[in-house]
Amino acid sequence: MGLLDSEPGKRRLLAVELPAIERYNAGRATEYRIAVTKVGGGLTLSYCLKPCHNPYALETRLLSSYPIMAPETRVLTPLKHCPHLLEGQTVCLWRQGSTRATSRWDASQFTCVFAVVAAWRWLLCYELWHETGEWPLPEAK
């Protein structure tokens, strides 16, 4: 059962996720706010981030398995390929191929806004990599 099709999921959405998005959006310029759209059994967050020099359009998908499984984030702005960019311009935010027990995603501690902040950090690393040729953070193990 997922975020939109179960009572616990709906409670989390109303009590945790939407208030977190509202706090994130408060005081931000309109173009940098998170917009939420219902897609199938999940939600899509659309937003723009500017970690350094360039603005990037992104979307984070909260699939029907959210919050048990980590959200998926992809950059809509075309990027130059890098070692941490997966198929479909999905960014490597969590340990890829991990199980629920070994993933860095923790539904008891993180909200969807955590994924947005993680994407900002990833984009900052991307811009540094683009300038230096080295990814500034250690690999996920």
Q: What pLDDT does residue 2 have?
A: 66
pTM: 0.88
- For residues 100, 106, 110, 116, the Cα torsion angle rounded to the nearest 10 degrees is -50
Arithmetic mean of pLDDT, 82-106? 74
- Of 1.10.3470, 3.10.110, 3.30.1490, 3.40.50, the CATH number of 7-132 is 3.10.110
Contact 12, 104 (CB under 8 A): no
> pLDDT digit string (tens) for 12-65?
888 999 999 999 999 999 999 999 999 888 899 999 999 998 999 999 999 888
Q: Provide the percentage of residues in the chain whose pLDDT is more than 70.
A: 90
Cα–Cα dist 99/38, whole Å:
27
Q: Which residue has the higher pLDDT, 138 or 15?
A: 15
pLDDT band at 108 (very low <50, low <70, confident <90, very high): confident
- Per-residue exposure over 96-121, b if at least 16 CB sit within 10 Å of its own CB, e if not: eeeeeeebebeeeebbbbbbbebbbe
Helices and strands (H, E) in the chain, number of each type: 3, 6
